[in-house]
Structure 1
Amino acid sequence: MLKDFLKPYKPKPETWKESSIGHLCCFYTDEIPELSETDIVIIGINDGRKSIGNEGCSNAPDTIKDEFYKLVKQNSKIRISDLGSISAGDTFEDSISALNDVSDFLLRENITLIILGGSQELAFGQYMAYQKICKNMEYVCITPEFDLKNDNFLRKICTFKPNYLFNINILGYQSYLVESDSIDVLQKLYFESHRLGNLKKDITDVEPMLRNADMVSINTTSIKQADAPANASGNPNGFSGEEMCQIAWYAGLADKIKSLGIYELNPIYDVCGQTSKLVSQMLWYFVDGFYNRKNDNPILHNEFIKYRCTLADKQPEAVFYKSKLSDRWWMEIPYPDSYGEHSILTPCSYNDYLMASKGEMPDRFWRGLQKINM
């Protein structure tokens, strides 16, 4: 089935060092690599038709791969297969359907998927692939701007039937690029959005936002243009290259994330291949995080310290858990009494605990209460 959609990537081992990661990877040539011996699959999709003025992003997958396979391997445990790229269909909807079919097959094989676009609109196909495997989908979208009024990938995700979407978390949006109506709609749905400036104050706060995610998509224009020039509509402000690599590592570390999509890189504007090199380094950090996953959750083991905090104004007690394995934090969100369930656990940060220890309700705690009382 996969062969019907994919054309092989041609690796360039003559550009690799002896220690390069490419030597540990399997590549689709005549036959699809053995998926039972694969942890991570990398695919490209060569369609930029919905990226207005930036259609050259269709050529990004191979340029990113060329740089990634040169990088030095983290360890010898890596099991990565490159299945090539999906060619653009007769229509953009055909490309979405092909990405859905390929991603659906691989996700049901319990493989973690890296998708290299292509237009950010392809994230809809990435999302559709979860409908058979996920009941309460959590999606993190890293982008400088979003719009929920027009017919685009984000609106399609929000309105898709069957509805298996539990949460959207938009990271790094820039206020002067986003209409207030779109932010209001997200808030009414109790979805989350976080401004670039707030996240840059402490990039470690991104980690709990990614920890429960099932899917992540990254628009490369969320990286400031000085660090990532490969887009016709780049932004002078954005995450730095270092910050984005740290975010990619957090995404790899997150136990639930099954797919990472990176979109909108246009090689035509990529001075000295700078953006392709940066994205390849983001992939390196994602892979490194993946192989350092802890399966760390208070439900799974007892290596936790429990803290109780009394909040002001007769609010519910806040209960926190700190992992002895990773120093990461979770908090309980109590269900209403009528539900018959005690609470759900949600990732949080040390700063949330500090706020609660002073009797103040953390924003994350409040949003959790609103969502389960919808």
Structure 2
Amino acid sequence: MNFNFLSPVSEIVLAHNELLSLQALGRKIRIHSSQNGIPELEGVDIAILGVLENRNDVNYIGEEFQLNEIRKSFYSLFPGSWNSVIADLGDINKGESVEDTYFALKTTIAILIKKNIIPIIIGGTQDLTYPNYRAYDTIMPMVNIVNVDCKFNLGDSAKPIKNDSFVGKIILDKPYNLFNYATIGYQTYFNSQEEKDLMDSLYFESYRLGAVSKDITIAEPVMRDANIVSVDLSSVKASEVSLNQKYSPNGLDGKEICAIARYAGISNKVSSFGIYEYKPSKDDEITSMLASQILWYFIEGVNFRVKDDDFSDDRSYQKFITLIDSQELVFYKSNKTGRWWIEIPFLTEINTKLKRHTLLPCMHQDYLDACNNKVPDRWYKAFQKNCV
């Protein structure tokens, strides 16, 4: 197996780890060290992967960065009642070119996913979501991406990829594997009207910061349908982070971003998770601790996954049928968890590779809306995508 791309966790972090309580996370996970090499992956459920790539930052001026502070913070936390075996595989260093880094990341993620290991990527810049997406090319025909961000990051796909314009490349580059793209926590004034119109015309989903802050549970069905989750730390408001990290006075607070990370962990579909746009500074304890807690909540969620989306057994769910303008909407509710799904009808004459998308996660509120003759927005967008 080729993991030549990976460099070990720094000696500073390992020395710090030795001083921690034996109950701390850092003493319970398998760590890639220069002394012991890459840990055995047999039995590992979650692998942490640092990527020291930031050259596609629109503001890049040659600065280097490292992830030591995040690791120190994460190692010092205590695990919950978890069964997951966690490994820290160290870092992917900058390649000769950004494309080299992309190749290393894509290859590593593909190996991990094929072994049923969930990679947690800690970046660098958010354009690393692109090689993360490309890792799925040989794994599944259609991919859903959720971006926790204040921007859509669509950009101009004709221009070189940057950390604020990688989604356009995902949409337009072959093979076309993207089924749905959703942004959680976007702030309208950071996005052009053209980008908003494009999101609408492609039937992609977007949830404004105000709506998410008002009701955080709207993020749960979106995460339940995601394969890749990409978190941009600039979606967090300035008061929650350290000096270099400050971006906007408005944004998600620490509690909200951790709740969203937990929803991502609970989702049975999410098979890779990334935290990006980390910018260390001398007063950095606060950002590194927040990033660690986001990681912690994601792993906590993974440990509480419940298999409730197999509807082959009639006793495992309740079925509800409503009628809107002669259109029958069929809802399913899991008896085990109380989570809801809605059926997307397929147009038989259309050749589609989306057979597995027949059930779309939704909320109880969507069912109540349907009973009041209101078509759920998620259902409408998924249905329209099927008709294209």
Same fold at TM > 0.5: yes
The 8 Å contact of residues 20 and 70 in structure 1, kept in 2 or not, is answered as: yes
The 8 Å contact of residues 52 and 91 in structure 2, kept in 1 or not, is answered as: yes
The 8 Å contact of residues 48 and 55 in structure 1, kept in 2 or not, is answered as: no
Determine which of 5, 15, 21 is the counterpart of 1:17: 21
Distance 1:304 1:329 in 2: 9
Higher mean Cα deviation, 342-351 or 255-264?
A: 342-351
Asked if residue 328 in structure 1 is aligned to residue 329 in structure 2, the reply is: no
The superposition leaves residues 313-345 of structure 1 with CA deviations (integer Å, 9 ceiling, x where unpaired) of: 32x111111111111110111223546989911
| Structure 1 residues 201 and 326, CA gap change in structure 2 (3 angstroms) | same
Asked if residue 369 in structure 1 is aligned to residue 383 in structure 2, the reply is: yes
Unaligned runs of 5+ in 2: 160-164
Asked if residue 153 in structure 1 is aligned to residue 172 in structure 2, the reply is: no
Partner of 1:64: 70
Higher mean Cα deviation, 193-202 or 292-301?
A: 292-301
Following superposition, the deviation at residue 96 of structure 1 comes to 1.2
Partner of 2:51: 45
| Structure 1 residues 120 and 147, CA gap change in structure 2 (3 angstroms) | closer
Q: Report the TM-score when normalising by structure 2.
A: 0.90
Higher mean Cα deviation, 204-213 or 121-130?
A: 121-130
Determine which of 28, 32, 44 is the counterpart of 2:32: 28
The superposition leaves residues 164-201 of structure 1 with CA deviations (integer Å, 9 ceiling, x where unpaired) of: 11111111111101001112112222222221112222
Following superposition, the deviation at residue 368 of structure 1 comes to 2.1
Distance 1:332 1:195 in 2: 25
Distance 1:135 1:228 in 2: 38
Unaligned runs of 5+ in 1: none
Following superposition, the deviation at residue 66 of structure 1 comes to 1.1
Aligned length: 371
The 8 Å contact of residues 254 and 293 in structure 1, kept in 2 or not, is answered as: yes
Partner of 2:297: 285
1:1-374 aligned within 5 A: 1-10=1-10, 11=14, 12-29=16-33, 30-53=36-59, 59-75=65-81, 77-150=83-156, 151=159, 152-229=165-242, 231=244, 234-268=247-281, 271-299=283-311, 301-302=313-314, 303-311=316-324, 313-314=325-326, 316-336=327-347, 338=349, 344-374=358-388
Distance 2:245 2:182 in 1: 26
Q: Report the TM-score when normalising by structure 1.
A: 0.93
Distance 1:60 1:226 in 2: 23
Distance 2:176 2:367 in 1: 33
Following superposition, the deviation at residue 56 of structure 1 comes to 8.6
SS in 1 for 2:96: coil
The superposition leaves residues 19-61 of structure 1 with CA deviations (integer Å, 9 ceiling, x where unpaired) of: 2112220012233222121000001011112223367985353
SS in 2 for 1:226: helix
Distance 2:145 2:374 in 1: 28
The 8 Å contact of residues 344 and 358 in structure 2, kept in 1 or not, is answered as: yes
Look up the equivalent residue of 2:26 and give its one-letter code.
G
What is the percent sequence identity of the aligned residues? 37
Distance 2:62 2:176 in 1: 33
The superposition leaves residues 89-112 of structure 1 with CA deviations (integer Å, 9 ceiling, x where unpaired) of: 122121111111111211121210
Look up the equivalent residue of 2:149 and give its one-letter code.
T
SS in 1 for 2:281: helix
The 8 Å contact of residues 58 and 117 in structure 1, kept in 2 or not, is answered as: no
The 8 Å contact of residues 70 and 292 in structure 2, kept in 1 or not, is answered as: yes
RMSD: 2.1
SS in 2 for 1:98: helix
